[in-house]
């Protein structure tokens, strides 16, 4: 199992959680806050970036790293899931064909086209460290015929992405290592299709893989069987990205399955809404494990926090907990002060960084064959 990835903007220790900087920014915080919180890489989204601020603007501003003042690795999501979600919910705003995606979100002045080749071209032009193939996403409850169509299209698109990536990299002069190219395993809830898709993608050849499709069921529960089966189809030496997984318990569960990379807007969205993550005990104490009731939520709006002169979470060393009390954050939250958004976001991201560090520590201490 991979322990780190060698990328152009530095090594990336695994497992790792990536906050969603969808439009080139993590809401409420800047790049210094992200480093302070322990974030080592970001994920950004081609579907959104090609619309706002637009590819020509990104180029004029020096690429994603310079634009966002971020020196670490950046993963760019191809945007397949976002385009699928838009078209599924608003069929008049776009369509999917074998050629690619055409869409015009509400309020947009023009239509956008995203093909496998264009997705690769854009991601490389943005300066991404990990590039993700455009895939044809489905819902886990879609019909068998739709799942079959999605897998076949995803495989065809992956071949086109691989060819365009190789062509682009061969033409470019780079001082560091080339970006890594990940493909996405689709198949919905059909295990046979998942296996078929994984086998075809392995034959094409990629540096890593992602779990395609929404990872939760209708009740919001992790699709553990499908996630575990999909991971098992990919040899352990290849890193695998659990796309969209960000709930702490889900992250830990997926690490046990062998997933290495996680991204989600959940921790930062929760923070802006005043829902903070907290360990139930000091994680630095001997014997602390990520099992049982190891974390809980702290709601800033609760009146019981008015005079709480304590940090948010036991043993937390984030900037927020080192300098501010829970009572003060409650005060800021009730006032609607924007400082509350920043401080809460720093804390939740630091919590996720601590979880990753604890997992890495457990992994390094585990006996052979254990996770």
Q: Catalytic residues, which ones? A: 77, 263
Instruction: Give residue 172's Cα distance to chain centre.
Output: 27
> What is the rounded CA–CA span in Å between residue 213 and residue 114?
19
**Any idea what DSSP says for residue 303?**
G
Instruction: Provide the β-strand partners of residue 77.
Output: 45
Tokens 């050849």 locate to 205
Give me 163's structure tokens.
């060819």
Cα distances (Å, whole numbers) of residue 138 to 31, 144, 244, 254, 257: 34, 11, 14, 21, 22
Our CA dihedral for 286, 256, 26, 65, rounded to 10 degrees, sits at 100
DSSP secondary structure of 81-146:
HHHHHHHHH-GGGEEE-SS-EEE--TT-SS-EEE-HHHHHHHHHHHT-SEEE-------TTS-HHH
Q: Which two tokens stand for residue 359?
A: 């997992």
By three-state DSSP, how is residue 220 classified? coil
User: What is the CB-side half-sphere exposure of residue 317 using CA atoms within 13 A?
Assistant: 8
Backbone angles phi, psi at 306, to 5 degrees: -50, -45
Q: In this structure, what token pair is assigned to residue 145? A: 């015929």
Residues 6+ apart with CB under 8 A from 127: 63, 64, 65, 74
């Amino acid at each position: 199992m991979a322990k780190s990835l060698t990328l152009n903007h530095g090594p990336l220790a695994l497992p790792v959680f990536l906050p969603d900087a969808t439009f080139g920014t993590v809401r409420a915080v800047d790049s210094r806050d992200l480093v302070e919180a322990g974030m080592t890489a970001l994920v950004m989204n081609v579907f959104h970036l090609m619309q706002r601020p637009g590819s020509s603007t990104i180029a004029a501003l020096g690429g994603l790293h310079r634009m966002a003042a971020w020196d670490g690795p950046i993963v760019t999501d191809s945007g397949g899931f976002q385009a699928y979600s838009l078209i599924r919910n608003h069929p008049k705003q776009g369509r999917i064909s074998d050629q690619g995606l055409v869409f015009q979100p509400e309020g947009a002045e023009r239509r956008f086209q995203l093909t496998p080749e264009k997705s690769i071209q854009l991601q490389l032009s943005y300066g991404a460290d990990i590039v993700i193939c455009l895939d044809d996403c489905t819902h886990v409850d879609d019909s068998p015929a739709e799942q079959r169509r999605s897998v076949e299209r995803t495989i065809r698109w992956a071949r086109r992405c691989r060819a365009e990536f190789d062509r682009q990299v061969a033409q470019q002069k780079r001082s560091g290592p080339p970006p890594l190219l990940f493909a996405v395993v689709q198949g919905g809830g059909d295990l046979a299709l998942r296996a078929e898709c994984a086998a075809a993608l392995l034959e094409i050849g990629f540096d890593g893989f992602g779990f395609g499709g929404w990872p939760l069921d209708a009740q919001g529960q992790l699709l553990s069987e499908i996630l575990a089966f999909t991971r098992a189809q990919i040899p352990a030496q290849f890193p695998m990205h659990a796309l969209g997984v960000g709930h702490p318990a889900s992250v830990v569960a997926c690490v046990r399955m062998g997933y290495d990379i996680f991204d989600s807007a959940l921790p930062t969205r929760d923070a802006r809404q005043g829902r903070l993550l907290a360990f139930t005990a000091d994680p630095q104490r001997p014997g602390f494990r990520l099992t049982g009731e190891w974390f809980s939520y702290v709601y800033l709006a609760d009146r019981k926090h008015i005079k709480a002169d304590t940090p948010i979470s036991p043993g937390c060393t984030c900037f927020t907990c080192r300098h501010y009390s829970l009572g003060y954050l409650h005060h800021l939250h009730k006032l609607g002060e924007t400082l509350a958004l920043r401080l809460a976001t720093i804390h939740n991201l630091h919590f996720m960084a601590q979880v990753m560090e604890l997992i890495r520590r457990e992994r390094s201490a585990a006996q052979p064959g254990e996770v």
